[in-house]
Amino acid sequence: MRFSLGPGARGLGLAALVALAAGGPAGAPGAVAMLALGDAGGQEHASIVGRVEIGIPVTIRRPTSTYATRAVVQRTLAAESERRHVVVYLRDARPQRVAPMRVSILQRHETFMPRVVAVTVGSEVDFPNDDPIYHNVFSLSRARTFNLGRYPRGDTRRVRFDRTGIVKVFCEIHSHMSATVMVFAHPWFAMPDETGRFALGAVPPGDHHVTAWHERLGDTTVKLRVEPGRAAATDFVLPVPAQ
């Protein structure tokens, strides 16, 4: 994955961001959508819409319980559309001044929910614990290194992400738990809904590389020409079938 951080970052004067944060115990996993509206230059923008499908079964880790704890742990892995764990973004977008977001990654049933979130630089992510056991959230990723320590049910800790990149998040106690925070310095990214549909709004006209990223299935990039005031469509099937 490549993140552009060129020095010629232009501000989007009227850029407005709509961020739906997954909050509360019942949080809407992966409900992070962004829309950049308008441009200081008055340029007529376009949009990119499409659908993401997963072409092969995706497995997630379950606990290795060689050491059985003395209590029987309540493990229920949430059934969730894997399409919500895909991030679609403009690969060659230039850095912009973007508004920070506030999202939440819940720890429930020894699972991070949602497992993937995408945010803008400067955003804060809450990590509430909803399990009747301790968790210890940490990351050693280059884009953000942190260790939140152990905290019980009902407590939450917050992390601010000030650098672009991929931040892999783990639980020190439960090795099967992992999450990913993708941090962007531009507003052109989206996460599909349950049916796989996504939309990137207020995209500058021109040729763009659009990437769909999945933590297991990797990057799939297509080149797309976006005409002013029109919606360009592109669909993804992950992973890319062999040619």
Tokens 């959508």 appear where? 33
CB of 74 to other proteins, least distance (A): 5
- Is the four-CA dihedral 109, 82, 216, 2 of positive or negative sign? negative
Q: In the complex with other proteins, which residue's Cβ is closer, 120 or 234?
A: 234
CB of 158 to other proteins, least distance (A): 15
Q: In the complex with other proteins, which residue's Cβ is closer, 35 or 133?
A: 133
Q: In the complex with other proteins, which residue's Cβ is closer, 83 or 186?
A: 83
Q: In the complex with other proteins, which residue's Cβ is closer, 1 or 133?
A: 133
Q: Which residues bind other proteins (CB under 8 A)?
A: 51, 53-77, 79-83, 85, 132-134, 138-140, 145-147, 149-153, 168, 170, 175-176, 196, 222, 234-237, 241
| Paired tokens of 170 | 């783990």
CB of 17 to other proteins, least distance (A): 28
For residues 215 and 112, give the distance between their C-alpha atoms in angstroms, rounded to a whole number.
14
Q: How far is CA 100 from CA 2, 18, 160, 203, in A?
A: 21, 10, 10, 19
Q: Which amino acid is at 98?
A: V
Pair 23, 104: CB distance under 8 Å: yes
CB of 222 to other proteins, least distance (A): 7
